[in-house]
């Protein structure tokens, strides 16, 4: 029976939330074809693998070594490709994260197989059929994967984690020779002074645009984001103006996001911006222009001066959080 | 130093997408095509390296005949010559494209190959990394900083909320993220010169790959929302809606 491999990511010894989503996606596929889900964790010794059974894994393969703490592209590729071949998996699922977007293509090229990236739904009923947004979400492909094996990366926040009373068996796997010491080497990870949530991963995002008038006024966005436990996003206009780092840009030439809540402040809603955030579950728009295109996609809109509205909103949110 | 930069012709980011009559592709009528924005960073970085090392930059594109214009834009920025791997359609599966590019690049024995992080049409973020894997050379994707010394390089790459520092030796492939540099605008002189620069056209035959298109559609329209009110007085109503109706607080 063909099984499905879920490549799981860890950071600082903890398996990431997105990997629970990967397990959920792999689980639904495996249930369709009647196979098992094997989660593969590559990381340092002591990674916590508890609860992965409940999240969908029948078995956890752990390739642990202290010098695998950071993402080492070539060694990771080697480990995954080796396990994929040995286990004859039908599908290898990973997250469309910074790591997954780099590792997925490598594995597909190594195995000579098909890659479907950044998919938002998977169905296994009649062959493997996936949907994936293109043009940053302006259109959506429905695709049938015609070959086996295949590599699928899933978009963050597109699959809901599952929880079941299942216990996964744990099997340690060794890194085969040939993966070590060659190619590119990740020497360190620079963490920012103030740890910030990433806009592509966060379940709540507060974005600011040109309506803020100047860079300093972004503190209103920072304050609201802090109150909501949200990541800060930005429109292309303010990134190009140098007010905010490009890593915060939401849109077709920035990041595409699917949070539970997206708050757009002083953003009119250019096509390329709407493309990047229209799959958010709930969209709130705050803008002085009642005809701004952003209101066409927003679930809730407030028309008016953001300099009056946003501080009030921050205050109300704080009250709820503290209450 | 021998430098290659791989580029793609894509619809401009302001394009409003319409679905073609076959229901499987976009309607290209009236669409403005441009050099993929992420490829502009790749071209710029290739040119900066050329200027430092007295190198030579070739711009390679895979696509239809009209991609010649895209290559001319890279030549206008300062690339020395162009190669078009001509094919009528590009399969959605990135591997056939990567194979064709890898075959072309292998012959050139380049020290470094630049790609844009992704093409804003298919949004795959795969081809550059696949090419490196096929060629058996190091690669780093989505870089925001590049430092080359002799035959080795150090790059920075953004991950969620942090930055990875990666070292490798050349030859190698890197893909460019926004923030790597500020792409130059082609000067008039560059545009005139570009017309005379060599551009080879080679026909390539791509396999169709393993992704069968069942349908291309527009995303479902969002349910009409409502304006909860005007000014700061509307805030309590907004918070109430988020808390009790949308249940996201």
pLDDT digits (tens, 9 = 90+) for A125-152: 778 999 999 998 999 999 999 999 999 9
How close does chain A come to B198, measured CA to CA in Å?
A: 31
Q: Which among A215, A216, A211, A209 has a CA at the least distance from the CA of A277?
A: A209
Other C-beta atoms lying within 10 Å of the C-beta of residue A53: 22
> Strands A185-190 and B162-169: what pairing?
antiparallel
pTM above 0.90, yes or no: yes
Q: Can you give the pLDDT at residue A37?
A: 98
For the ranges A154-158, A167-171, B155-159, the lowest mean pLDDT is seen at A154-158
Whether A220 shows a pLDDT value over 60: the answer reads yes
- Mean pLDDT value across chain A: 94
How close does chain B come to A317, measured CA to CA in Å?
A: 8
At B40 the three-state DSSP class reads helix
ipTM computed for the complex: 0.95
Please count the CA atoms within 13 angstroms of the CA of B215 that sit on its side-chain side. 8
pLDDT digits (tens, 9 = 90+) for A266-304: 999 999 999 999 989 999 999 999 999 999 999 999 999
**Mean pLDDT within A252-278:** 94
Mutation site for B-interface testing, chosen from A316, A317, A321, A323 by largest number of B Cβ within 10 Å: A316
pLDDT confidence bin for A180, thresholds 50/70/90: low
Residue by residue, pLDDT tens for chain B (249 residues) are: 999 999 999 999 999 999 999 999 999 999 999 999 999 999 999 999 999 999 999 999 999 999 999 999 999 999 999 999 999 999 999 999 999 999 999 999 999 999 999 999 999 999 999 999 999 999 999 999 999 998 999 999 999 989 999 999 999 999 999 999 999 999 999 999 999 999 999 999 999 999 999 999 999 888 889 999 999 999 999 999 999 999 999
Distance CA(A155)–CA(A140), nearest Å, equals: 13
Distance CA(B55)–CA(B49), nearest Å, equals: 7
**Which residues of A fall within a CB distance of 8 Å from B163?**
189-190
- Angle (CA) B5-B9-B12 rounded to 5° is 125
Is the CB of B138 less than 8 angstroms away from the CB of A198?
Answer: no
> Strands A282-287 and A300-303: what pairing?
parallel
**Mean pLDDT within A93-112:** 98
Other C-beta atoms lying within 10 Å of the C-beta of residue A139: 19
Instruction: Tell me the DSSP string of A124-143.
Output: -BTBEEEEEEEGGGTEEEEE
Nearest by CB to A136, which of B120, B161, B212?
Answer: B120
Nearest by CB to B120, which of A73, A102, A253?
Answer: A253
Q: Can you give the pLDDT at residue B115?
A: 98
Q: Can you give the pLDDT at residue A125?
A: 77
Q: Can you give the pLDDT at residue A73?
A: 96
Q: Can you give the pLDDT at residue A211?
A: 98
Distance CA(A50)–CA(A44), nearest Å, equals: 15
Q: Which residues contact B240 (CB under 8 A, 6 or more apart)?
A: none
- Residue of chain B minimizing CA distance to A74: B138
Distance CA(A288)–CA(A264), nearest Å, equals: 12
pLDDT confidence bin for A191, thresholds 50/70/90: confident
Is the CB of B129 less than 8 angstroms away from the CB of A200?
Answer: no
**Which residues of B fall within a CB distance of 8 Å from A102?**
129, 140-142
Q: Which among B117, B135, B3 has a CA at the least distance from the CA of B59?
A: B3
**Mean pLDDT within A212-228:** 97
Is the CB of B214 less than 8 angstroms away from the CB of A101?
Answer: no
Residue that has been written with the tokens 């930069």 in this structure: B5
């Amino acid at each position: 029976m063909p099984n499905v491999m879920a490549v799981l990511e860890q950071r600082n010894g903890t398996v990431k939330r997105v990997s629970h989503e990967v397990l959920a996606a792999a689980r639904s596929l495996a249930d369709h074809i009647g196979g098992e889900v094997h989660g593969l964790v590559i990381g340092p010794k002591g990674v916590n693998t508890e609860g992965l059974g409940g999240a969908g894994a029948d078995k956890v393969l752990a390739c642990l070594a202290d010098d695998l703490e950071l993402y080492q592209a070539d060694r990771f590729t080697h480990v995954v490709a080796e396990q994929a071949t040995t286990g004859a998996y039908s599908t290898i699922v990973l997250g469309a994260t910074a790591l997954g977007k780099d590792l997925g293509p490598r594995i597909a090229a190594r195995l000579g197989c098909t890659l479907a990236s950044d998919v938002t739904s998977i169905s296994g009923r009649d062959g493997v059929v996936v949907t994936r947004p293109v043009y940053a979400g302006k259109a959506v492909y429905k695709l049938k994967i015609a070959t086996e094996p295949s590599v699928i990366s899933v978009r963050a926040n597109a699959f809901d984690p599952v929880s079941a009373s299942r216990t996964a068996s744990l099997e340690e796997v060794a890194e085969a020779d040939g993966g070590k010491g060659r190619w590119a080497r990740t020497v360190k990870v620079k963490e920012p002074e103030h740890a910030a949530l990433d806009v592509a991963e966060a379940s709540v995002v507060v974005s600011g645009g040109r309506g803020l008038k100047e860079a300093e006024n972004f503190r209103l966005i920072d304050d609201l984001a802090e109150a909501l436990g949200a990541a800060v996003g930005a429109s292309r206009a303010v990134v190009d103006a140098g007010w905010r780092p490009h890593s915060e840009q939401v849109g077709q030439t920035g990041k595409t996001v699917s949070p539970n809540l997206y708050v757009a402040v002083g953003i009119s809603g250019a096509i390329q911006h709407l493309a990047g955030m229209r799959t958010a579950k709930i969209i709130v728009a705050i803008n002085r222009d009642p005809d701004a295109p952003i209101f066409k996609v927003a679930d809730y809109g407030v028309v008016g001066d953001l300099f009056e509205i946003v501080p009030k909103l921050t205050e109300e949110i704080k009250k709820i959080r503290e209450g | 130093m021998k430098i290659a930069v791989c580029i793609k012709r894509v619809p401009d980011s302001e394009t409003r997408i319409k679905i073609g009559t076959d229901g499987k592709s976009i309607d290209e009528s009236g669409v403005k095509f441009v050099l993929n924005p992420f490829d502009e960073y790749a071209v710029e970085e290739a040119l900066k390296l050329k200027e430092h090392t007295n190198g030579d930059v070739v711009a390679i594109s895979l696509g239809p005949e009209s991609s010649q214009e895209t290559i001319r834009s890279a030549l206008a920025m300062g690339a020395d010559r162009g190669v078009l791997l001509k094919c009528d359609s590009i399969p959605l599966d990135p591997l056939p494209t990567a194979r064709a590019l890898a075959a072309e690049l292998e012959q050139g024995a380049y020290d470094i190959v630049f790609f844009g992080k992704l093409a804003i049409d298919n949004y795959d973020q795969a081809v550059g990394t696949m090419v490196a894997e096929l060629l058996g050379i190091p690669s780093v994707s989505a870089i925001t900083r590049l430092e080359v010394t002799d035959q080795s390089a150090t790059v920075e790459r953004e991950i969620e909320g942090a930055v990875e520092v990666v070292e490798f030796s050349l030859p190698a492939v890197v893909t460019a993220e926004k923030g790597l540099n500020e792409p130059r605008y082609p000067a008039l002189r560059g545009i005139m010169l570009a017309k005379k620069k060599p551009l080879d056209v080679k026909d390539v035959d791509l396999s169709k790959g393993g992704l069968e298109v069942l349908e291309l559609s527009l995303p479902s329209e969002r349910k009409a929302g409502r304006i909860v009110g005007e000014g700061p007085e509307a805030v309590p109503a907004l918070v109430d809606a988020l808390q009790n109706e949308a249940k996201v607080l």
